[in-house]
Amino acid sequence: MATFETDKEQGTTRVGKLTFQSLPGQSYQTPLYTIYTSRGCIPNLTPDNFKNAIKTDDQSSCIINLNFWDLNENPGEKVLTSYEEHLKQKKSDDIQRPLHSLLNLKDYPVIVNIRDPQFAQQTCQANDKCPYGDTEMGRRKTNPESFNKLMQQMKPELLVPLHDASVHDVVHVSIDLPGKEEQRPSKKILKCVERSKKWISQTSTVPNASNLLFPLVAQTRPESLKQFLDQSELKESYRGVLLGDFGIMPPNKRSALLKACIQEVKATKLSKLPLFISGQDHPYDVLECVQQGVDVFDGVYPFKVAEFGMASIYPLQIQQNQTEMKMNLRDVKFVRDVKPVLEGCGCFTCKSHTRAYIHHLLNAHEMLAEVLLTILFLMVHSHNVQHYMRFFEAIRKSISSGTFEEYKNTFIKNTI
Ligand SMILES: [Zn+2]
**pLDDT surpasses 60 at 178:** no
CA of 21 to the centre of ligand 1 (A): 34
Q: Residue 376 Cα, ligand 1 centroid: separation in angstroms?
A: 10
pLDDT at 291 over 90: yes
371 alpha carbon – ligand 1 mean position (Å): 13
| Higher pLDDT among residues 197 and 339, named by residue | 339
Judged against a pLDDT cut of 80, whether residue 381 lies above it is answered with no
Of the spans 82-96, 222-236, 356-370, which averages the highest pLDDT? 82-96
**Arithmetic mean of pLDDT, 215-238:** 65
131 or 364: which leads in pLDDT: 131
User: For residue 141, what are the β-bridge partners?
Assistant: 132
State in Å: Cα 285 to ligand 1 middle.
22
**In which band, very low, low, confident or very high, does the pLDDT at 377 lie, cut at 50, 70 and 90?**
very low
Summarize the confidence of residues 220-245 as an average pLDDT.
Answer: 69
What pLDDT shows up at residue 57? 61
Ligand 1 mean position to 406 CA, how many Å? 25
Q: How far is CA 224 from the centre of its chain?
A: 26
| Local structure of residue 41 (DSSP, 8 states) | B
Least confident of 61-75, 113-127, 168-182: 168-182
- Residues 350 and 340: their CA atoms lie apart, in Å, by 5
Tell me how far apart the terminal alpha carbons of the chain are, to the nearest angstrom.
43
pLDDT at 171 over 50: no
CATH of the structural domain 2-30+63-299, one choice from 3.30.365.10, 1.10.240.10, 3.20.20.105, 3.40.640.10:
3.20.20.105
Average pLDDT over residues 92-96: 88
Q: What is the mean pLDDT of residues 293-307?
A: 87
Burial zone of 180 (CB within 10 Å; 0-12 exposed, 13-18 middle, 19+ buried)? exposed
277 C-alpha vs ligand 1 centroid, how far in Å? 27
- Res. 227: pLDDT tops 70: no
Q: What is the Å distance from ligand 1's center to 382 Cα?
A: 7
Tell me how far the alpha carbon of residue 353 lies from the centroid of ligand 1, in angstroms: 9
Segment 302-314 mean pLDDT: 83
Q: How far is the CA of 370 from the centre of ligand 1 (A)?
A: 13
- Rounded to 10°, the helix 283-292/383-400 angle is 30
For the chain, the structural domain boundaries read 2-30+63-299, 309-414
Name the CA dihedral angle for 197, 198, 201, 204, rounded to a multiple of 10 degrees: -90
- Compute the distance from residue 398 Cα to the ligand 1 centre, in Å: 21
Q: For residue 171, report the distance from its CA to the centre of ligand 1, in Å.
A: 39
Q: Identify the H or E element spanning 383.
A: helix 383-400
Tell me: is residue 289 an annotated ligand-binding position. no
- Mean local confidence (pLDDT), 320-336: 89
Rounded to the nearest angstrom, the gap between the alpha carbon of residue 333 and the centroid of all alpha carbons in its chain is: 35
Q: What is the pTM of this model?
A: 0.88
CA 114, CA 133: separation in Å to the nearest integer? 8
> What is the 396 CA–ligand 1 centroid distance (Å)?
20
Please give the distance, rounded to the nearest whole angstrom, from the Cα atom of residue 381 to the centre of ligand 1.
8
Cβ–Cβ < 8 Å for 96, 22: yes
Length of the chain: 416
Greater confidence (262 vs 368) lies with 262
- Find the angle CA(382)-CA(134)-CA(196) to the nearest 5 degrees: 105
22-75 pLDDT tens trace:
888 889 999 999 998 888 887 766 777 676 655 556 555 689 999 998 898 888
Q: How far is the CA of 51 from the centre of ligand 1 (A)?
A: 18
**The pLDDT of residue 83:** 92
Is 383 known to sit in a ligand binding site?
yes
Residues above pLDDT 90, as percent of the chain = 24
Non-local (6+) Cβ contacts of 414 within 8 A are 315, 319, 320, 321, 322, 323
**pLDDT higher at 306 or 86:** 86
* Distance from the alpha carbon of residue 164 to the mean position of ligand 1, in angstroms: 39
What confidence category does residue 370 fall into, taking pLDDT thresholds of 50, 70 and 90?
Answer: low
CA of 352 to the centre of ligand 1 (A): 9
Lowest-pLDDT range of 27-41, 143-157, 198-212, 252-266: 198-212
